[in-house]
Amino acid sequence: MASPKDKSSSDRFVYREFGDNNSPALERPTQELPPEKQNLRVQATRAGRKGKTVTVISGFQTKPETLQALVKQLKTQCGTGGTVKDNEIEIQGEHKQKILEILTKLGYKAKISGG
C-alpha cells in the first residue's frame, strides 16, 4: 500500500510561491454574456482534420456548462457528432446555414464567416 509521501515526480517541487495549481484563485473568471450580446462566427473548415469538413462556431463568452448544453442541442438538430474545444464548438460536416438558423432562433447574433 502506498503512503501519502509516495508521489509521482511531477508532483514534486522545490519551491512554489503560490498554492496549488488547482487553486480557484488562479482560475480565470469567465464573463457570462447574454446571447443577444455575443457575436458568433460560423465557418466550415478542413484545416488540420485530414480533409474532413467541420463547422466551427467561435466567439463565445460563456461558461463551459452552457457550451456543453448548446453543443448537445446542435448535435441533436444536425444529426451529427460534435465537441467543444478551446471555447469553440465543432460540429461534424458542413452545416453553416442550419446552425446559423438555430443560433438566431436562440437569440444569438451570428454570422457566416469565410467562403
Per residue in 33-71, pLDDT (tens digit) is 888 899 999 999 998 889 999 999 999 999 999 999 999
Predicted pLDDT of residue 7: 52
Cα radius of gyration (the chain): 19
Q: In what order do the strands lie in the sheet with 88-92?
A: 82-85, 88-92, 54-58, 39-45, 109-112
| pLDDT score recorded for residue 35 | 86
Q: Would you state the pLDDT for residue 97? A: 96
Q: Give the start-to-end residue ranges of the domains of the chain.
A: 31-112
Q: What single-letter DSSP state applies at residue 92?
A: E
CATH for 31-112?
A: 3.30.780.10
Is the whole model's pTM more than 0.75, yes or no? no
Q: Is the pLDDT of residue 6 over 70?
A: no
The mean pLDDT of 98-115, rounded to a whole number, is: 93
